[in-house]
Structure 1
Amino acid sequence: MASVPREGATKERGRGSAMPIAWDDILTAFEFVSVGDSDNSAYLCRETGEMLWHSAFGGEFDELPDDIDDGAKYLALPDPRDLDLGKPLVMRFADEELADRYDEVAQIFSRRGAYRRFRDLLTREGVLDKWYAFEAAAKEKALREWCAENGVAVEG
């Protein structure tokens, strides 16, 4: 699942990426890191533009280099909690679209299995598609802001 270094990659200066990284590569890596409570991680090599994929569960993923913690060379992709895309996002949506059910949503998220029950509520209220659009827009905005803050030039 590892991507190959991009042709024409050059050594970076400072903390920015050496070259633009395709938005789809960033988004796919973010989704990989976001899977459940897994121990998946993805790292962007700032020098080559290569994405390194790793899972604690094994499989055909990359062996991480010894210097993976070198922030000038590698950048770990965030997970949704790092970008406030978990419960805070749900509560913003509830405030905007389900104001009369806000307390119920808060109660749902006080126990395990919240997302399943939340989807059930959204389906009953007829706003599931609105949630998916809201979530996708918030994810893209937060991830693009994260890229900008970390000097990652995004293409697309």
Structure 2
Amino acid sequence: MKVKLGVILDAIEMADDNYTYFLDLETGESVFLADELITGLDNEGLEDEIEENPERYLRLPTKFEIHEYHIMEEFIWTLKGEKADKLECAIRGRGAFRRFKDMVDRMGISQQWYDFQAEYYRKLATQWCREQGLEYEEESL
């Protein structure tokens, strides 16, 4: 079965501390386990299902494997001069993500950032598929 790259991309875009996403190899869809203590959501037996059928479910990349901070750094490295300098300062210390996004907006390069981030996520998704030995297909627009 070929997996739809969009399913992988959605899980990468949604990755956060509260959810762990898995690819269901039987359906080709993603499922998630919620951190019940934080979200209050009940996993309704899914955790048991995943433990009992580990060959059916592949854990998708987590927030920590995606390294959003590194993606911001790589974007900055594509820029030159004052824009790069300002963004490098913006990502230092606490609140780096919010300052980065605010600065990108003020500079008028939001679309450039979103395009870069989307392409980076796409590369992560295709690399993950290759590492898992999965064939994938990209949906046509």
Q: Say which of 117, 142, 150 aligns to 2:124.
A: 142
Q: Residue type matched to 2:95 in 1?
A: G
Q: Which amino acid aligns with 2:121?
A: K
1:31 to 7, 10, 13: 13
Residue of structure 1 equivalent to 2:105:
123
Q: Confirm or deny that 1:82 pairs with 2:61.
A: no
Asked if 2 retains the 8 angstrom alpha-carbon contact of 1:91 and 1:102, the reply is no
Residue 104 of structure 1 and its aligned partner are, at CA, apart by 3.6
Deviation at 1:25, TM superposition (A): 1.9
Per-residue CA deviations over 1:116-151 (Å, capped at 9, x if unaligned) read 211221122221110111111111111111111111
The answer for unaligned runs of 5 or more in structure 2 is none
The one-letter amino acid paired with 1:40 is: Y
> Hey, what does 1:15 align to over in structure 2?
none
The Cα RMSD (Å) is: 2.6
Q: TM-score, normalised by structure 2?
A: 0.76
User: Cα distance 1:122–1:51, how it changes in 2: closer, same or farther (>3 A)?
Assistant: closer
Would the alpha carbon gap of residues 50 and 134 (structure 1) be closer, same or farther in structure 2, given more than 3 Å must change? closer
Matched, 1:92 2:71: no
1:22 equivalent in alignment to 2:4: yes
Within the alignment, does 1:51 sit opposite 2:16 as a pair?
no
Mapped to 1, the partners of 2:113 and 2:56 lie a distance apart of 37
Moved more, 51-60 or 111-120: 51-60
Instruction: Please report the TM-score for the alignment, with normalisation by the length of structure 1.
Output: 0.70
CA contact under 8 A between 1:43 and 1:53: conserved in structure 2?
A: yes
Higher helix share: 2
Q: Secondary structure at the match of 2:51?
A: coil
**Counterparts of 2:29 and 2:18, CA distance in 1:** 20
Of the two structures, which has the highest relative contact order with CA contacts closer than 8 Å and spacing of 6 or more?
2
Partner of 1:64: 47
Contact kept? 2:34, 2:43, Cα under 8 Å: yes
